[in-house]
Amino acid sequence: MRIALCQTNPIVGDLAGNAQKILAWSQRAVDEQADLAVFPELCVVGYPPQDLMDRPSFMDEVNDAVDYVAHQLPSGLAALIGAPVRNDDKTGKRLFNAALLIENGAITGTAYKALLPTYDVFDEFRQFEPGDARHVVRFRGRKLGLHVCEDMWNNKEIAPFHLYNANPIDELAAVGAELFVNLSASPFAVGKSEERTQLIQESCREHGLPFVYVNQVGANTELIFDGDSRVHAADGSILWHAKSFEEDFFVWDTEETPSTSLTRHLSQERRNSDVAQIHDALVLGISDYVEKTGPSVFSKALVGLSGGIDSAVTCALAVAALGPDRVVGVTMPSKYSSGGSVDDSHALAKSLGIEFHNVSIKPAVEAFGEMLEPLFVGTDEGVAEENIQARARAVTLMALSNKFGYLLLSTGNKSEMAVGYATLYGDMSGGLAVLADVFKTQVYELAHHINERAGNELIPQNTIAKPPSAELKPGQLDQDSLPPYDVLDTILDHYIEELNSAEDIVRETGYDEALIARIIRMVDRNEYKRRQAAPGLRVSEKAFGVGRRVPIVMRRTAIAKEPLDRL
């Protein structure tokens, strides 16, 4: 049997466009003499469709789209597609997350997703009812162990605990599956590909069965999907590995021997460093945000250039995503801006080949000063005056965004967002936060990677080398109020991503207990800022945004570790 793996990039809600893409790739599968074309999870609607599925009219349109695909599918080909399906029972959630086998104008096999994740960015139990039985789907003499995304993740033997009682992989093997087939919409995070490899290899070796895995690629708002589709032999070895961060296609002949497949196809596998993966993910995130929203909404991307590393990296990523003719850079000096910062911004714009403007905010800041002088009289200058500068820049950028239909890209990084080193309605303004899940130390790694990839100095060396500063008061440096970024990022990684306590961080790092306690307080008390931030592209397992739900109003206390009779 010849199976076509169709790693596609659907658009959420674009039922007509997604259906046409399924049919186009199905024709490609027929041209390659495939018997079966396999598409990603929920490929008819795009992932995640969220509360679109609550609308009865939308689900009627989904049914029409599935019916259209079924009747237009090329003759002689069957396809496995993902779509929400209504639950006709009187109890339970109103929908199933389904994998549908379609052939000859009809649905001939169905598998409902059994394990519905409700952690991090996932909230599938909000709409879906879990499938309660596992059975093989028969296709041309083969018994397919058909399942959907999360259904394969509870088979990890080395896990310290399992999230679910059921194990669909084991259950499918027990009822006679001869080949595992997984339809996925699994988001990217650094290290996720290696985790998938280990997990699939364990399943193959445990049950002695080959494994076909087809994952969505593309970005939908903050979530980025790397694809990473693959075929594993029964012994766990990789027979084919899709390209990451782009659509890809491959036809696997189940009769090919592993040695032949390895020789012919494994060369397509790309293994990149973490920083290269982050770069490619962010580029895809920017591109799909703009293109899927539509050029009629955003004609270009707009970046405020400070001469610093964050805005430089954001701008370079935008150029890689959209091209230099669709990126505009604006530097907005105040009386505290150094000449070097303006020069570095101009040098960056010139090296990237983008449109560039210099708009002084001095008149605006002075006007605000005069306006507020009667109220501020007798007080010392401080954060309020500093933030007026950041907000004057935001007003300038948003005016350009409104006037010309530009998408303003927010340039703050994860380190700054974590500790609140950002100005609400100032530098936090924008439609998309490109670096919101990238620590400051990683931003520097990205800058070096961008230059190495280009083979020349796209980002000026002075921008990389100079100490970071918001330049909101004379001689200001980030390190005046923050520890060195390598120290800060280590603490933040332990607290935000590893969920470690202060005591654990002290023990693991050896850093000063008072410093760690201060950083944790800064993280906790700035949740209100992050709740108002632009959507941030997710590249880690724990990003700020939809996957991290922390109360804004809270007070953390604990029972003292004293004998009860002394309390």
Domains, the chain, with CATH or none: 2-270 (3.60.110.10), 277-531 (3.40.50.620)
Hey, is 355 helix, strand or coil? Answer: strand
Among the options 21, 113, 414, 529, which is catalytic? 113
Q: How far apart are CA 149 and CA 202, in angstroms?
A: 16
Residue 502 host element (H or E): helix 502-509
Among residues 21, 41, 150, 222, the one annotated as catalytic is 41
Could you say which DSSP state residue 208 is in?
T
Bridge partners for 99 per DSSP? 82, 111
Q: What is residue 244's predicted lDDT score, i.e. its pLDDT?
A: 96
Rounding to the nearest 10 degrees, give the CA dihedral for residues 54, 6, 546, 158.
120
113 is catalytic: yes
Residues 6+ apart with CB under 8 A from 300: 322, 326, 327, 328, 404, 405, 406, 407
Distance of alpha carbon 144 from alpha carbon 365, whole angstroms = 67
CB 279 within 8 Å of CB 446: yes
- CB count within 10 Å of CB 191 equals 12
Inter-axis angle of helices 440-454 and 274-293, nearest 10:
90
Separation CA 160–CA 363 (nearest Å): 60
Q: Is 41 a catalytic residue?
A: yes
pLDDT, tens digit, for every residue of 132-181? 989 999 999 999 999 999 999 998 877 778 899 999 999 999 999 999 99
DSSP string, 13-50: T-HHHHHHHHHHHHHHHHHTT-SEEE--TTTTT-S--G
Which DSSP helix (H) or strand (E) runs through 394? helix 383-404
Annotated catalytic residue 291:
no
3-class secondary-structure state, position 447: helix
Residue in 291, 395, 380, 400 with CA at minimum distance from that of residue 10: 291
Query: Catalytic pick from 149, 150, 300, 386?
Result: 149
Question: Exposed, middle or buried by CB within 10 Å (0-12, 13-18, 19+), for 510?
Answer: exposed
pLDDT of residue 337: 72
Using alpha carbons only, what angle is made at residue 473 by residues 468 and 477, rounded to the nearest 5 degrees?
25
**Positions of the chain with pLDDT lower than 50, given as ranges:** 263-270, 564, 566-567
pLDDT in tens, 498-556: 999 999 999 999 999 999 999 999 999 999 999 999 999 999 999 999 999 999 998 88
DSSP state, residue 457: -
Give the CA dihedral 60, 64, 67, 73, nearest 10 degrees. Answer: -140
The shares of helix, strand and coil residues in the chain, as percent rounded to the nearest 5, are: 45, 20, 40
How far, in Å, CA of 321 to CA of 356, rounded? 18
Between CA 62 and CA 72 the distance in angstroms is 15
Distance, CA of 329 to CA of 351 (rounded, Å):
12
489 by DSSP, 3-state: which? helix
Nearest to 325, CA basis, from 291, 361, 349: 349
| Strand stretches in 223-265, DSSP E | 223-226, 230-232, 238-241, 248-253
| The pLDDT value given to residue 468 | 72
Nearest alpha carbon to residue 414 among 391, 433, 429, 387: 433
Residue 335 is predicted with a pLDDT of 84
Number of residues assigned to the chain: 567
